[in-house]
């Protein structure tokens, strides 16, 4: 009898051990959780948002360009500065409600997988200067607690899906989060190696959906980024020399086109400055093969005045003047 008991418990132990190994193996496939939101200076994501409702009227179509322009260290933690450009085709209502906070400081904690926004004094007791946005290490059906400030002590949402998804021609791991209710809700999906790919929100007055069109990550282009990122090769014929054309139209409101020639592969940058010499936007900063290129700059978020655009590539550098009139 004693021998039978020993064998029985040995089998139970073996089964539990194998289950633990299988579970660890399954979650080890997630790898580095920060890959679900690859934060690196220069990375760009381009989204389109559409919103619709009949009563009350809600109709919106917008494009968003979200770019990481710099880093800053606060309390020993590195945050990425988010810069957002918006092109509105038409809008009566709201759009982009499920996107991450625009023009904010973000970081992903590599240990916990938490996506955090810097917000002094607005966080919870364990992160008083940070607001929890998502938890990329969450498992299916895990509940995430957030927004612990009074009068609401805790709000919660769930990880609702961890299946692989097909995006830009490959199958990748994903994490989907959301909350649903009678009066409203929202959802966000992250894809490993890409970032935030879908966001949606709904209420009694409007339903909006935001979809990733394309992105530029570590210099690699995925999908279609031409609408806002703007760089488009218009000729593969190798030019004789570097050149920068005058923008057109000029004066302009709110968008203008800039063309330039690259005779040999190099890292090229096209940067916009205001009249004081302050950099206001970087349109191009990447490895560019030989050819002629066209870039669209949308200045919807900038005030009227004189601006300068500068092309730098290898030892070549030239600056030209343009005028925004609203």
- Say which residue the tokens 């805790």 belong to: 154
Lowest mean pLDDT across 123-132, 188-197, 223-232, 314-323: 223-232
Structure confidence at residue 301 (pLDDT): 81
The residue ranking higher by pLDDT, 275 or 125, is 275
Q: How far apart are alpha carbons 212 and 202 in whole angstroms? A: 18
For the stretch 66-119, pLDDT in tens is 889 899 999 999 999 998 877 776 777 677 777 888 778 999 999 999 999 999
The CATH number that applies at residue 269 is: 2.60.40.2550
Nearest to 51 by CA among 97, 87, 103, 86: 97
Containing structural domain, residue 247: 232-324
Contact 123, 144 (CB under 8 A): no
Q: Are residues 206 and 237 in the same domain?
A: no
What are the percentages of helix, strand and coil residues in the chain, rounded to 5?
10, 55, 35
In the chain, what's the furthest Cα-to-Cα distance? 95
For the stretch 77-91, pLDDT in tens is 999 999 887 777 677
Q: Are residues 159 and 300 in the same domain?
A: no
**Cβ atoms within 10 Å of 38's Cβ, excluding its own:** 18
Lowest mean pLDDT across 106-115, 165-174, 219-228, 304-313: 219-228
**Tally of domains in the chain:** 2
The CATH number that applies at residue 179 is: 2.40.360
In this structure, what DSSP letter does residue 13 have? H
Q: Are residues 216 and 306 in the same domain?
A: no
- Residue at which a domain ends, from 223, 251, 283: 223
Q: How far apart are alpha carbons 292 and 173 in whole angstroms? A: 37
Query: Between vectors from CA 110 to CA 108 and to CA 115, what angle results, nearest 5°?
Result: 25
Q: Are residues 193 and 301 in the same domain?
A: no
């Amino acid at each position: 009898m004693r021998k039978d008991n020993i064998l029985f418990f040995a089998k139970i132990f073996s089964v539990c051990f194998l289950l633990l190994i299988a579970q660890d193996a399954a979650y080890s496939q997630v790898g580095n959780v920060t890959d679900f939101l690859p934060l690196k200076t220069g990375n760009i994501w381009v989204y389109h948002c559409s919103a619709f409702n009949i009563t009350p009227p809600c109709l919106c179509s917008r494009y968003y360009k979200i770019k990481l322009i710099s880093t800053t260290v606060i309390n020993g933690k590195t945050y990425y500065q988010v810069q957002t450009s918006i092109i509105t085709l038409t809008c009566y209502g709201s759009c982009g409600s499920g996107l991450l906070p625009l023009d904010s400081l973000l970081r992903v904690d590599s240990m916990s997988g938490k996506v955090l926004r810097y917000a002094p004094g607005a966080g919870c007791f364990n992160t008083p200067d940070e607001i929890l946005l998502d938890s990329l290490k969450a498992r299916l059906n895990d509940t995430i607690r957030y927004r612990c400030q009074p009068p609401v002590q805790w709000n919660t949402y769930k990880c609702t899906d961890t299946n692989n998804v097909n995006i830009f021609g490959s199958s990748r791991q994903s994490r989907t989060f959301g909350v649903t209710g009678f009066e409203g809700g929202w959802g966000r999906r992250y894809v490993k190696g890409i970032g935030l790919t879908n966001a949606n929100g709904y209420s009694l007055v409007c339903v909006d959906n935001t979809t990733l069109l394309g992105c530029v990550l570590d210099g690699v282009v995925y999908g279609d980024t031409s609408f806002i990122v703007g760089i488009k090769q218009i000729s593969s014929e190798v030019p004789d020399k570097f050149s920068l054309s005058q923008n057109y139209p000029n004066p302009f409101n709110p968008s203008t086109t800039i063309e330039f020639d690259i005779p040999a592969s190099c890292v090229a940058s096209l940067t916009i400055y205001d009249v004081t010499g302050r950099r206001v936007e970087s349109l191009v900063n990447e490895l560019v093969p030989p050819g002629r290129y066209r870039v669209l700059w949308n200045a919807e978020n900038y005030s009227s005045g004189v601006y300068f655009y500068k092309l730098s590539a290898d030892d070549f550098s030239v600056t030209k003047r343009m005028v925004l009139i609203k």
